[in-house]
């Protein structure tokens, strides 16, 4: 039985990025799965649910040399003690420390997941440093799994990896979308939706534009807010609402004026962070989902929305472009308020909204269904 260790920054990231892939691989393959991440209230429950071994080791997002060295030593010790055969690393700090520890410990297979292109919107010395770090981690790895064709082509263009190292699971993503048991509109009680609408003050005649994610400039929040302002002024007779799910962050923070409008405008329904257990219900409040992202490896939230039958508008310059079938399940937009607002206007047509929403669910089932991606991961691990 092969011992497989996955390393990621946080317990919540393990649940979101990897999820039940842990238990799937143990049930369908000759693997015993392990997890290393920073400690947190979710860690023990998640590990017990997935029936995996785990070790909490602090992995900071920032550069902290003493803590990082301590974490590196602890990872090396865990690898040797548990006779790990495969190390799979996710996210920047976990990739650097996890792959280095695996290389130092002589682990035969060292897999890196490239969830995005971190330097995509950077410039100058910072961009060079991040690219150099990616090249170093790749050099220490045996395989690099890209979550999208965009990530794969960008790494190829920038000569980050040796060509033979790059792989993609099915059509992309890390663990796909569970369209059967999670993101399935047939499983949601209409009474639950009615109750949420009543709680948030969503009227039956409201046209709801949805956003879910971190409130940062990279996600296109500023352009989206400006687009909604344009639509509200252009169509005063319509009850246009911007439903925002997420929370502001200090890193890459949106301007205070934008945040003030979000907090104070009657055209905004700002929920904050919604528990993942309930997020699928909130997509059903939306008429259209929008993610005008400046930087995304793939963009899972447009896939979640479409799995719930909601059409999506996404930017076409990043990995988000692969999350829709343009003109069939949604539309591309440029990173301008004018382009976003024009795309939203197309969905005032209820027939278009309904038809594209239905096509979107079929698109996700065909290309990103979790079972398909998990099976591809199983084949990938068994390939060497």
Choice among 13-17, 193-197, 374-378 with the minimum mean pLDDT: 13-17
CB-CB contact of 291 with 219 (8 Å): yes
Of the pLDDT bands very low, low, confident and very high (cuts 50, 70, 90), residue 80 is very high
Question: Mean pLDDT in the chain?
Answer: 96
- Residue 384 — very low, low, confident or very high, per pLDDT cuts 50/70/90? confident
Q: Which pLDDT score is estimated for 95?
A: 97
Predicted pLDDT of residue 13: 92
Model pLDDT, residue 280? 97
pLDDT for position 61: 83
CATH code of the domain occupying 185-367: 3.40.50.2000
For 350, phi then psi, to 5°, come to -65, -35
Q: Does this chain's domain 2-176+370-382 share its CATH topology with 185-367? A: yes
Nearest alpha-carbon partner for 56 in 117, 199, 64, 70: 70
Cβ pair 99, 112 in contact under 8 A: yes
Distance CA 242, CA 313 (A): 14
pLDDT-based confidence at residue 120 (cuts at 50, 70, 90): confident
pLDDT given at position 357: 98
Mean pLDDT, residues 358-384 taken together: 97
- What topology does CATH give the domain 2-176+370-382? Rossmann fold (3.40.50)
204 pLDDT above the threshold of 90: no
Would you kindly state where each structural domain of the chain is located, as residue ranges?
A: 2-176+370-382, 185-367
In the structure, what pLDDT confidence band is assigned to residue 156 with cuts at 50, 70 and 90?
A: very high
The reported pLDDT for the residue numbered 97 is 97
Q: Is the pTM of this model over 0.85?
A: yes
For the chain, the C-alpha Rg in angstroms (whole number) is 21
């Amino acid at each position: 039985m092969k011992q497989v260790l996955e390393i990621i920054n946080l317990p919540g990231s393990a649940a979101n990025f990897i999820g039940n892939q842990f238990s799937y691989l143990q049930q369908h393959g000759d693997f015993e799965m392990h997890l290393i991440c920073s400690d947190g209230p979710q860690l023990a429950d998640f590990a017990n649910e997935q029936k995996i071994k785990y070790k909490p080791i602090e992995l900071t997002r920032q550069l902290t040399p003493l803590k990082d060295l301590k974490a590196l030593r602890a990872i090396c010790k865990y690898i040797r003690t548990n006779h790990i055969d495969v190390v799979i690393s996710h996210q920047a700090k976990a990739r650097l420390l996890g792959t280095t520890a695996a290389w130092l410990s002589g682990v035969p297979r060292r897999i890196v997941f490239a969830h995005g292109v971190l330097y995509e919107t950077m410039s100058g010395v910072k961009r060079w440093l991040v690219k150099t770090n990616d090249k170093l981690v790749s050099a220490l790895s045996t395989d690099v799994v890209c979550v999208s064709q965009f990530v794969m082509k960008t790494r190829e263009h920038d000569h980050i990896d040796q060509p033979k190292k790059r792989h993609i699971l099915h059509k992309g993503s890390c663990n796909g979308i569970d369209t059967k048991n999670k993101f399935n509109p047939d499983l949601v009680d209409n009474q639950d939706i009615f109750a949420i609408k009543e709680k948030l003050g969503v009227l039956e005649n409201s046209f709801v534009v949805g956003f879910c994610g971190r409130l940062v400039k990279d996600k296109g929040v500023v352009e989206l807010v400006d687009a909604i302002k344009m639509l509200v002024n252009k169509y005063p007779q319509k009850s246009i609402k911007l439903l925002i799910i997420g929370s502001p962050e200090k890193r890459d923070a949106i301007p205070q004026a934008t945040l003030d409008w979000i907090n104070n405008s009657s055209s905004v329904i700002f929920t904050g962070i919604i528990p993942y257990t309930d997020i699928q219900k909130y997509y059903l409040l939306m008429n259209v989902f929008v993610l005008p992202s400046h930087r995304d490896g793939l963009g899972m939230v447009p896939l979640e929305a479409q799995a719930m039958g909601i059409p999506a508008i996404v930017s076409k310059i990043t990995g988000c472009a692969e999350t829709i079938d343009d003109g069939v399940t949604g539309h591309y937009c440029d990173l301008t308020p004018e382009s976003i607002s024009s795309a939203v206007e197309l969905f005032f047509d209820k027939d278009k909204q309904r038809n594209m929403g239905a096509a979107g669910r079929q698109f996700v089932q065909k290309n990103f269904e979790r079972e398909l991606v998990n099976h591809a991961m199983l084949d990938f691990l068994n390939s060497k």
